[in-house]
Chain A
Amino acid sequence: MAAKLLPIGLLISALACKPPSASEQMDSAVSWVGTAGMAGEAWLRHASPDKYTRQTLELSHKSLIDIGTSLLKSLPAGIDSATVDSALARSSTHIALMAQLVEQKNSPDFRTLLDSLYADERVVKQLADSVEAKEQ
């Protein structure tokens, strides 16, 4: 039983699955903006290494761009794709800038950017909620 299940399971999971829905992708975007915020906070407290912070911010940036490209094709009717696009683009730009500031060890500017990221976070969250409401 186990011996038979295992290779099949591995094969199927390797082949991945149907594309995630728009609201799942929005949740993922919220998750990455939040991740960048938390990682940024920890760095400002000198409670995490520079390299980790930079890599995590870069990963968030990259993930947000990926989500942006695939999301615009699958948005439900009634959601303005330009709004979503600009919100995601704005936060991913902020995150990319933060990653650079980590490299320069520039905390004052980093703090300012982190505050704008919190504003982005609220916008993305609201959009995520309205996408979910539209999908149901």
Chain B
Amino acid sequence: MKKILQITLGIITSVGGFLEIGSVTTAAQAGALFGFQLLWAIALGTICLIFLVEMSGRLAAVSKHTIVDAMRERFGFPFFFFVLIGMVLVAFLVLIAELGGIGFALQILSGLGFPLWALPVSLVVWLMMWKGTFSLIENGASLLGLVTISFAVAAWKLNPDWSSVGASLLPTLPEQDKVKYGYLAVSILGASISPYLMYFYSSGAIEDEWDRSYIAMNRVIAGFGMTLGGVLSICVLIVAAIALRPKGVQVDTFPQAALLMTTALPRWGFYLFAFSMLFACFGAALEISLAIAYFFAQGFNWNWSENLEPSKNARFAFVYTIIILVSAVPLMLHVDPIRVTMLAMALTSATLPLAIVPFLFLMNDPIYLGKYRNGWITNSVVGIVVLISFVLAIISIPLQIFGG
């Protein structure tokens, strides 16, 4: 009975925590520009994410190591440091984007510009970290995030042609705008396969003291939670494809994105979108700040637990305090969060090998995992998707940047 409750809670938190500014912006842009054509990228990214999240939980349950612990131990400090720099820089960009998303949601609700919101928003996020506990952050934030289910309602009400939705799960090339298409595919993959989610998930498994008896549960949570989350992303794309594309409306700015659900849900669509973004980005900002602080604390074995008061893990608290405050600065200087988001997502794809290849080594390590090592199916699926995202990123990022 207790297990069923835990599984339900786990799935709910994964669904509530799945959408954030990256997945919404990339899916909305893709739908507005290419209709259903890029659905395959969300599906592919979600499949890869299911495997990765399952792996992170399994590593923690069997070896009692988080990914970062194991990476530092197995690959040594110099390599670890290299990965740390890459991951923290990308996660930092994503954090800026999420804080910008919260600020924008407040802007469309209140009329006050997002640069004004940057500092108060980052202070609230910081205060949650300072005073909150792990379960408050994980459960509270993602329960609020359940408002994103309204995207599924919107997609349902627009009554899409399900056979062409299904057909778009196989990749095809568009006749024009190939570069933009590739760049969007890369950004969608980056938004779906977010490494910070793995670090957060494996740290959570350690904080909740998982052991081998959790392996089956972990599979169910990863499988269902991420699938349902991916379905939500797909719904965002469907809504954009049906509501925005016929009018030629693109999602280059946030005020345009705010119109996403007004066709499907004429009365509440606007407010549901604003609150979806507010809560989803808030939850994601907390998770990313925690993931960055975990990365340092675990890598150097400082005390770390979101359940202790700050002075009991001073260096851990110090890291997230600095990171959150610094990330407010670019927003106060009017950096466009949507541009930061697209760049952050594309760079996530480009740096995936850095995050995933060492992780694959760890997941095949008999010392850590014994008979719970990866099988060849898991290895190949993850390896191939990472290779695809990397190659696409290497080709399309320069083309996008130089090609206009």
Contact = CB atoms under 8 A, between A and B. Distances in A.
- Do A and B contact each other directly (Cβ–Cβ < 8 Å)? yes
Interface of A: 1-3, 5-6, 9-10, 12-13, 17-21, 24, 27-28, 30-31, 34-35, 37-39, 41-42, 45, 47-52, 55-56, 59, 121, 125, 128
B262 A17 contact: no
A31 B270 contact: no
Contacts of B267: 45, 47
Given A2-B347, A5-B347, A56 B255 contact: yes
Interface string B86-121: 110110000000000000000011110000000000
B249 A12 contact: no
24 contacts: A1-B353, A2-B351, A5-B350, A6-B89, A13-B401, A17-B401, A18-B403, A27-B248, A28-B252, A30-B248, A31-B249, A31-B250, A31-B256, A34-B247, A38-B247, A38-B262, A41-B262, A42-B259, A42-B266, A47-B268, A48-B270, A49-B109, A52-B109, A55-B255
B248 A45 contact: no
Contacts of A41: 262
A71 B189 CA distance: 34
Nearest to B262: A42
Given A27-B248, A34-B248, A45-B266, A51 B89 contact: no
What 6 pairs across the A-B complex have the smallest Cβ distances? A51-B111, A2-B86, A34-B247, A30-B248, A2-B351, A34-B249
A18 B404 contact: yes
Most buried by A among B108, B109, B110: B108
B61 to A, nearest CB: 29
B86 A31 contact: no
A126 to B, nearest CB: 12
A17 B402 contact: yes
B117 to A, nearest CB: 14
Contacts of B270: 42, 47-48, 52
A35 B32 CA distance: 12
A38 B259 contact: yes
B347 A13 contact: no
B81 to A, nearest CB: 10
A98 to B, nearest CB: 14
Q: Is the interface of A mostly helix, strand, loop or mixed?
A: helix
A6 B270 CA distance: 35
A2 B85 contact: yes
B397 A51 contact: no
A27 B404 contact: no
B86 A17 contact: no
Given A28-B252, A35-B249, A49-B108, 17 more contacts: A1-B354, A2-B90, A9-B343, A13-B343, A18-B404, A20-B404, A28-B250, A30-B247, A31-B249, A31-B256, A47-B267, A48-B258, A49-B111, A50-B111, A51-B110, A52-B108, A56-B256
A47 B262 contact: yes
Contacts of B252: 28, 31
Nearest to A56: B255
Nearest to A128: B248
Q: Is the interface of B mostly helix, strand, loop or mixed?
A: helix
B116 to A, nearest CB: 13
Nearest to B398: A12
Contacts of B351: 1-2, 5
Nearest to A10: B343
A9 B111 contact: no
Contacts of A121: 247
Nearest to A16: B404
A117 B263 CA distance: 18
Nearest to A11: B401
A1 B259 CA distance: 38
B52 to A, nearest CB: 18
B253 A37 contact: no
A4 B65 CA distance: 29
Contacts of B253: 59
B82 A3 contact: yes
Contacts of B269: 42, 47
B89 A2 contact: yes
Contacts of B262: 38, 41-42, 47-48
Contacts of A128: 248
Nearest to A20: B404
A17 B85 contact: no
B259 A35 contact: yes
B248 A2 contact: no
Interface in B55-91: 82, 85-87, 89-90
Given A42-B270, A47-B269, A48-B262, A6 B90 contact: yes
B339 interface: yes
A16 B270 CA distance: 32
Interface in B212-266: 244, 247-250, 252-253, 255-256, 258-259, 262-263, 266
